[in-house]
């Protein structure tokens, strides 16, 4: 069963629009971590954020912000004032002790930002 669901396969926005990428996860662990990675067209994986299950504070880093809600098992990612360079595939991932802290990835959301 898919433990991390990214329901949006592809999103297309015009530059300067705000966009939210959804992530819903499933786990029985009480302690777990959630991650977001970015994969630009060049193919490498770029770490964006790590959040533990006990910290529900929202986080903001420049134009990026993350909203973690345990009640709905969601860890959504918002890009404010999107730019063309934000075009990439974004992956949400779950880390659990039961799988050796390996990352269980969602299928990714492909974001296209057009001028």
Partner 1 sequence: DADVTQTPRNRITKTGKRIMLECSQTKGHDRMYWYRQDPGLGLRLIYYSFDVKDINKGEISDGYSVSRQAQAKFSLSLESAIPNQTALYFCATSPSGTHNEQFFGPGTRLTVL
Binding site for partner 1 (CB under 8 A): 4, 9, 31-33, 35, 37, 43-45, 47, 50, 52, 91, 95, 97, 99-108
Q: Which is closer to partner 1, CB of 80 or CB of 105?
A: 105
Q: How far is the CB of 76 from partner 1 (least distance, A)?
A: 17
C-alpha–C-alpha distance, residues 114 and 16, integer Å: 9
Beta-bridge mates of residue 89? 39, 110
Q: How far is the CB of 81 from partner 1 (least distance, A)?
A: 26
Are 18 and 113 spatial neighbours (Cβ–Cβ below 8 Å)?
no
Q: How far is the CB of 82 from partner 1 (least distance, A)?
A: 22
CB-based contacts of 104: which residues, under 8 Å, 6+ apart?
A: 3, 4, 93, 94, 95, 96
Q: Which is closer to partner 1, CB of 75 or CB of 108?
A: 108
Q: Which is closer to partner 1, CB of 10 or CB of 18?
A: 10
Q: Name the nearest CA neighbour of 107 among 1, 3, 6.
A: 6
């Amino acid at each position: 069963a898919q433990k991390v669901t990214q329901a949006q396969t592809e999103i297309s926005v015009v530059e300067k629009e705000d966009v939210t990428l959804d992530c819903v996860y499933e786990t029985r662990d009480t302690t777990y971590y959630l991650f977001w990675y970015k994969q630009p067209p060049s193919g490498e994986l770029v770490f964006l954020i790590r959040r533990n299950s006990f910290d529900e504070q929202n986080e903001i880093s420049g134009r990026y912000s993350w909203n973690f809600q345990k009640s709905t098992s969601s860890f959504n990612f918002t890009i404010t004032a999107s730019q063309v360079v934000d075009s990439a595939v974004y992956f949400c991932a779950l880390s659990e002790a039961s799988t050796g802290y390996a990352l269980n990835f969602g299928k990714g959301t492909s974001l296209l930002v057009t001028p």
